[in-house]
Amino acid sequence: MSRLIVVSNRVNPPADTAVGTQGGLAMALSAALREENGIWFGWSGQVTDTYTGHLSIQKIGGVTVALTDLEQQDVQEYYNGYANRTLWPLFHYRTDLVAFERTYDEGYLRVNQRFADTLFPLIEKDDLIWVQDYHLLPLAQKLREHEVKNRIGFFLHIPWPAMRVFQTLPKHMELVETLFDYDLIGFQTEDSLSAFQEYVVNCAGGELHADGRLTAFGKTIQAAAFPIGIDAEEFITAANSDKALAFYNLMRNSQAGRKMITGVDRLDYSKGLEERFLAYEQFLNNHPRMEGEVFLMQIATATREEVGTYQDLRARLDSLSGRINGEHATIDWVPVRYVNRAYRRDELAGIYRASQVGLVTPLRDGMNLVAKEFVAAQDERDPGVLILSEFAGAAAQMKAALIVNPFDRQAMAEAISEAVHMPLKERRQRHADLLEDVKARDVVWWRNDFVARLKGEPVRLHEVEAVA
Ligand code: ADP
Ligand code: F6P
């Protein structure tokens, strides 16, 4: 029987799934791999003086986890450098924040080579290999250099940018050429898929076939959209657990009858946190009678702290939340509760459930799993309202949310007002529509679809249509 080998930069052993962790990729894969007798390969998160290529192999929850350490220079050039100073801002349309450094390119290719060299001896003839995300775009090319003939798939968890944005990357063509060593490439949305197709056809001189295959650089690959979901049933169970209930009660008591507008994000500039704070302030200014009646609960966990743009953002948010509170707070009301710590999943579920409004307003996001978790955690009898950015991949599926343009402060302020005042009947209807889709297109649906396509089986188009 063929095994599934998942490769990702960050590896969260499945035994950790009960604990709150940051990052949609880690959450999604731990849920997906729980049922697979596969191998999950990636970086241990540990740093050594010099790279050894040593693999630590452990069996956790039925999954073999194979981890390799990286050396300090690798982490700086590959993870903090090319992945998070070059590709991340570029793919999120923040060309103003992109750093192009030759050493980052070199480090990125070196680590991909090291991953390929270390993974290669583990690969058996019939294994399917599934590579995750922007850290590892060229991995298939490096594996093919070892004569690996297995089927290799790639899934991009972040957006693929518009052609003219992508073309600002030095050596953009070389990077795309490496993708043609995969058999299948998956994107979160049709939007990202189209942007990739446009690049291949109009920049790389390739061809888009009627069945969706792409030919360029003398090779033909499959490319399609596979919107990722959450482990919906488990999240609903978590939202009904004792721990969630305890957090729900804690929140409700501390709300003292006030409506809670909640945001939960990594502290990342793609998440639109400053714009969100300012829109909330605009809402208070537009509706002075709401002062003391609502508050914003923003949970923003620090991430990628060695990267300067993240340090700058943190400083700006500290100052902005302080200013809004200084200007609007009274002796018995604080308008913004700004929290930098991480919570367990069941605790988060309790917080979501106690919220009257979920504010998910990234400026650009591959999917955004928080939007789906918020919906799954609600009490169907008295659900909260989801406000969702049109620039989150999730907006293509979650049309019953209040969809907003996160760059439009007034429109966001009015959406907050609409959400806070929405009648129960409308809240129930919107929530029912959203929940149906969150359950139908969950993480298992996503994985099964991708793996079936990677094996060469036909896509389950009828199921896609049924829930569309
Ligand atoms: P990204 O992958 O860019 O971080 P997503 O919204 O897709 O964005 O996924 C974020 C994941 O991280 C979600 O599963 C969410 O529950 C989790 N998360 C975000 N912030 C926190 C936090 N403060 N504590 C615990 N988990 C968090
Ligand atoms: O989902 C996007 C993503 O970048 C994942 O690839 C990543 O694991 C997650 O967000 C968190 O980022 P990091 O691994 O850098 O903490």
The ligand 1 atom at the shortest distance from the C-alpha of residue 301 is 23
Query: Using one digit for the tens of pLDDT, what is the confidence trace for 290-311?
Result: 999 999 999 999 999 999 999 9
Query: Using one digit for the tens of pLDDT, what is the confidence trace for 417-448?
Result: 999 999 999 999 999 999 999 999 998 899 88
Query: Using one digit for the tens of pLDDT, what is the confidence trace for 310-355?
Result: 999 999 999 999 999 999 999 999 999 999 999 999 999 999 999 9
Confidence of residue 458 (pLDDT cuts 50, 70, 90): low
**Looking at residue 140, what is its pLDDT?**
98
CA 136 to the chain's CA centroid: 16
The ligand 1 atom at the shortest distance from the C-alpha of residue 299 is 23
Q: Using most ligand atoms within 8 A of CB, pick from 79, 133, 155, 368 the residue to mutate for ligand 2.
A: 133
* CA–centroid distance, residue 251 to ligand 1 (Å): 19
* Mean pLDDT in residue range 192-213: 98
* CA–centroid distance, residue 229 to ligand 2 (Å): 15
- Tokens 């302020």 sit on residue: 413
Closest ligand to Cα 43: 2
User: Residue 267 and residue 273: Cα distance in Å, rounded?
Assistant: 8
Residue nearest to atom 9 of ligand 2 (CA): 23
* Mean pLDDT in residue range 245-263: 97
Percent of the chain with pLDDT over 70: 92
* CA–centroid distance, residue 312 to ligand 2 (Å): 19
User: Residue 296 and residue 275: Cα distance in Å, rounded?
Assistant: 13
DSSP 81: I
User: Residue 161 and residue 98: Cα distance in Å, rounded?
Assistant: 13
Residue nearest to atom 13 of ligand 2 (CA): 23
CB atoms within 10 A of CB 152: 25
Confidence of residue 21 (pLDDT cuts 50, 70, 90): very low
Burial (CB count <10 Å: 0-12, 13-18, 19+), residue 125: exposed
146 is catalytic: no
**Looking at residue 12, what is its pLDDT?**
75
The ligand 1 atom at the shortest distance from the C-alpha of residue 158 is 3
Contact 100, 170 (CB under 8 A): yes
**Looking at residue 61, what is its pLDDT?**
64
**Looking at residue 23, what is its pLDDT?**
43
Which residues, other chains included, contact 60 with Cβ-Cβ below 8 Å and sequence gap of 6+?
A: 13, 14, 15
**Looking at residue 14, what is its pLDDT?**
52
**Looking at residue 351, what is its pLDDT?**
98
Residue 460 has pLDDT above 50, yes or no: no
Does ligand 2 have an atom closer than 6 angstroms to the CB of 157?
A: yes
* CA–centroid distance, residue 27 to ligand 1 (Å): 8
User: Residue 340 and residue 259: Cα distance in Å, rounded?
Assistant: 21
Give the mean pLDDT of the chain: 93
User: What is the Cα Rg of the chain in Å?
Assistant: 22
User: Residue 81 and residue 72: Cα distance in Å, rounded?
Assistant: 12
117 is catalytic: no
Residue nearest to atom 11 of ligand 2 (CA): 23
Residue 463 has pLDDT above 50, yes or no: no
Instruction: Using alpha carbons, list the distances in angstroms from residue 45 to 42, 120, 238, 336, 349.
Output: 9, 20, 28, 34, 27
Does ligand 2 have an atom closer than 6 angstroms to the CB of 303?
A: yes
**Looking at residue 59, what is its pLDDT?**
80
Q: pTM for the whole thing? A: 0.95
Residue nearest to atom 5 of ligand 2 (CA): 25
Contact 45, 269 (CB under 8 A): no
Which residues, other chains included, contact 121 with Cβ-Cβ below 8 Å and sequence gap of 6+?
A: none
**Looking at residue 246, what is its pLDDT?**
97
Residue 358 has pLDDT above 50, yes or no: yes
More confident position, 42 or 464: 42
Residue 176: in which H helix or E strand, if any?
A: helix 172-179
Q: What is the dihedral of CA 284, 290, 291, 293, to 10 degrees?
A: -130
Q: Which of 149, 75, 146, 140 is nearest to 117 (CA)?
A: 146
**Ligand 1 pocket at CB < 6 A:** 20, 22-24, 27, 264-266, 299, 301, 342-343, 348, 367-370, 373
Query: Using one digit for the tens of pLDDT, what is the confidence trace for 46-76?
Result: 999 999 999 999 987 667 899 999 999 999 9
Query: Using one digit for the tens of pLDDT, what is the confidence trace for 377-390?
Result: 999 999 999 999 99
* Mean pLDDT in residue range 118-147: 96
Residue 117 has pLDDT above 50, yes or no: yes
Contact 127, 4 (CB under 8 A): yes
Q: Which of 135, 157, 328, 431 is catalytic?
A: 157
The ligand 1 atom at the shortest distance from the C-alpha of residue 22 is 12
* CA–centroid distance, residue 393 to ligand 1 (Å): 15
Residue 84 has pLDDT above 70, yes or no: yes
Residue 19 has pLDDT above 50, yes or no: no
Contact 81, 9 (CB under 8 A): no
* CA–centroid distance, residue 217 to ligand 1 (Å): 37
Q: Using most ligand atoms within 8 A of CB, pick from 6, 7, 8, 10 the residue to mutate for ligand 2.
A: 10
